[in-house]
Amino acid sequence: MRSSMKTFSALAAVILGSAGLVAGPAALSAAAAGPVLVPLSQAFDNVGITAPADSAPGNLDGTGDSLSATGLASDGLSPGAPVLHDGVTLRWPDVAPGGPDNVVADGQVIALHGSGNTLGVAATSTGGSTSGTLTVSYTDGTSASATVSVANWVDTSAAAAPAGAESDLLATTAGWDPGGSLPVSLSYLSVPVNPAKTVASVTLPTVGAGVGHDVPAMHIFGLAVGTVAAKATDGPGALSYYDLARKDCVGTAPGTSSKTWYTVAGGMLSDVYYPTIDNTNVHNLEYVVTDGSSFTDIQPRDMTYTVAALGASGMACQVTATAKNGSYKIITDYLTDPGRDAVVLRVSFDPLTAAAAADHLYARLQPLVNGHGGGGSQNAGADSATTVRTTGGPVPVDYSTNSFSEAVNRTFATPTFLALAASGPFPATDNGFAGQPSDGLTQLSGGHALTTGDQNASDGDVATTVEIPGTGAPGATRKSRHPGPRLRPDRGGGTGDRAGQRAHAVRRHAGQL
């Protein structure tokens, strides 16, 4: 029998302030006929962002207050930066702090050209929450309208979204200029559009042209048309909870470049702390094995494990998980990349029987991004998940853009993203809600395959499931277990393999929505 070992390098790249990843910004152009329309940037009529050293020009709320350019930059929102949210890319206003950077919505018709299934909007409100009718006009002369709501900038949660749409906090910053200390926020909202048509313009809600104390005003910072992949709709999922306190391993990288600590509990990747040692981002990552037709093994139920140290440092460890029926074993080396904020898993799948050589290996990641995970009836601190398409294959990303906290020692919290990449493209990916039909574990348990194809799950206890590349192919050439990804203290490449290149691509686009 030819034994087959598969190598898989999973990079849990937690990227601070990455408001998005990869996609092209929507092109802005005037309508081909009718009145001469201008793109959003040419309609800016309010100064909402200023530098802390010069906040005098700001007047977002009519009382001289404004968003902090420094605070937004720490969340990945800097002038001209692309910003990705749920697969839609907007361009953050390419305006220096202190210049007009948003439109106070009062029925303006804005030129916006593009095709897709979703209109994304970056906005906030002052003087209270706001709502109104937004109209999308197409090049064929037809139009469609939807009611949109935007939360007040001092609210700690996004406004409710209409059916088929999304509403989420895009960024939060700890105060306003000049000298404010109350956290304030920006919102993202989406509106479904007809993918078979081309958008020509957007008519903003008629809320009011004025700003002032207790004067409701809706501020639009960005508009874009894009295509959002299939979305799970059975959220928010089961109530999230923290993993075991008893750990098998704990480790980090030498030096100060990496801000990441990993742990292993129950033989599985457990809490991953970033950017400080008290802020977890992972509940666990478990393996699932199936032949695709007759059985599904789940790691905590169907496998035993042993743990051994790797090297004298004690900062890396090896876990061997063995099927209770003796048909295969999975050997995983855990270590932290010293050159970036990533945990590297080198995974060897060793079939011990002829039949097991055709088995498929999956990894299911359940995140707790920024220390919370949502789910349950209250759905507090919900996470979201999407899949970014890169030249090296799909990269699932779990994220939390809500960093509001009542804890006085958590003022460092910022929107956080966690990406999962591999040494080869994932053959299958799925983002869903824990314990629901959209959960990859539910699909693999019931049908022995990922069946829904959902790539987006918003605001709940999300779960990401991927098929490990190279498994499920009997007779594949056996590789050496030890020469896996080589670690280099290099922010640009990290491990030097394709997984590192994809994680670098994700990081390179940090701040894009």
Q: What is the mean pLDDT of each run of 10 residues along the chain (513 residues)?
A: 42 35 32 66 96 93 93 88 85 96 98 95 96 96 95 86 80 77 87 96 96 95 93 94 93 91 97 91 97 97 97 93 97 93 94 96 95 87 89 90 62 77 93 97 97 92 94 46 25 36 34 21
Q: Rounded to whole angstroms, how far apart are CA atoms 90 and 451?
A: 31
Q: Rounded to whole angstroms, how far apart are CA atoms 123 and 146?
A: 16
Q: Are residues 207 and 307 in the same domain?
A: no
Could you tell me if residue 231 is inside a domain?
no
CA proximity to 158, closest of 127, 134, 123: 123
3-state secondary structure 162-213: CCCCCEEEEEEECCEECCCCCCEEEEEEEEECCCCCCEEEEECCECCCCCEC
Question: Which structural domain, as residue segments, surrounds residue 284?
Answer: 6-18+236-508
For 378, the 3-state DSSP assignment is coil
- What are the strands, taking DSSP E only, across 109-181? 109-114, 118-126, 130-138, 143-150, 167-173, 176-177
Q: What six digits make up the tokens of 287?
A: 């393996």
Q: Are residues 180 and 300 in the same domain?
A: no
pTM of the model: 0.80
The reported pLDDT for the residue numbered 482 is 28
Q: Are residues 185 and 247 in the same domain?
A: no
Q: Are residues 269 and 344 in the same domain?
A: yes
Q: Rounded to whole angstroms, how far apart are CA atoms 253 and 390?
A: 27
Q: Are residues 162 and 127 in the same domain?
A: yes
Alpha carbon dihedral 436, 439, 441, 447, in 10-degree steps, equals 80
Q: Are residues 477 and 345 in the same domain?
A: yes
- DSSP letters spanning 404-464: --S-TT-TT---EEEEEE-SS--S-EEEEETTSTTSHHHHHHHHSS--S---BEEEE-EEE
Q: At which residue do the structure tokens 């190598």 appear?
A: 7
Could you tell me if residue 399 is inside a domain?
yes
CATH code of 359's domain: 2.70.98.10
Q: Are residues 103 and 189 in the same domain?
A: yes
Could you tell me if residue 395 is inside a domain?
yes
Q: Are residues 183 and 261 in the same domain?
A: no
Q: Are residues 202 and 62 in the same domain?
A: yes
The reported pLDDT for the residue numbered 25 is 30
Counting the structural domains of the chain, the total is: 2
Q: Are residues 150 and 245 in the same domain?
A: no
CA proximity to 122, closest of 78, 148, 90, 160: 90
Q: What six digits make up the tokens of 442?
A: 């539910």
Cβ neighbours, 10 Å, residue 310: 16
Could you tell me if residue 84 is inside a domain?
yes
Could you tell me if residue 353 is inside a domain?
yes
Give the domain-ending residue among 176, 207, 226.
Answer: 226
Residue 278 has phi, psi (to 5 degrees) of: -110, 10
Could you tell me if residue 183 is inside a domain?
yes
- Residues 6 or more apart from 84 whose CB is under 8 A from it? 19, 20, 21, 22, 23, 388, 509, 512, 513
Give the domain-ending residue among 195, 226, 257.
Answer: 226
Could you tell me if residue 28 is inside a domain?
no
- Partners of residue 333 on adjacent β-strands: 318, 346
Q: Rounded to whole angstroms, how far apart are CA atoms 446 and 391?
A: 32
CA proximity to 239, closest of 401, 382, 396, 438: 382
The reported pLDDT for the residue numbered 407 is 53
Dmax (CA) for the chain in angstroms is 77
CA proximity to 69, closest of 184, 160, 176, 209: 176
Q: At which residue do the structure tokens 């042993």 appear?
A: 306
Give the domain-ending residue among 185, 203, 226.
Answer: 226
Query: β-pairing, 416-421 with 6-16?
Result: antiparallel
Q: Count CA within 13 A, CB hemisphere, residue 222.
A: 33
| Number of residues in the chain | 513
The reported pLDDT for the residue numbered 441 is 98
Tens of pLDDT along 272-330? Answer: 999 889 889 999 999 999 999 999 999 999 999 999 999 888 899 999 999 999 999 99
Phi-psi category of 324—alpha, beta or left, where left has phi over 0 and alpha has psi -120 to 50?
alpha
Q: Rounded to whole angstroms, how far apart are CA atoms 496 and 306?
A: 29
Do 173 and 74 touch, CB atoms closer than 8 A? yes
Do 151 and 158 touch, CB atoms closer than 8 A? yes
Q: Are residues 215 and 341 in the same domain?
A: no
Residue 305 has phi, psi (to 5 degrees) of: -150, 155
Could you tell me if residue 513 is inside a domain?
no
Q: Are residues 359 and 215 in the same domain?
A: no
Query: β-pairing, 49-50 with 66-68?
Result: parallel
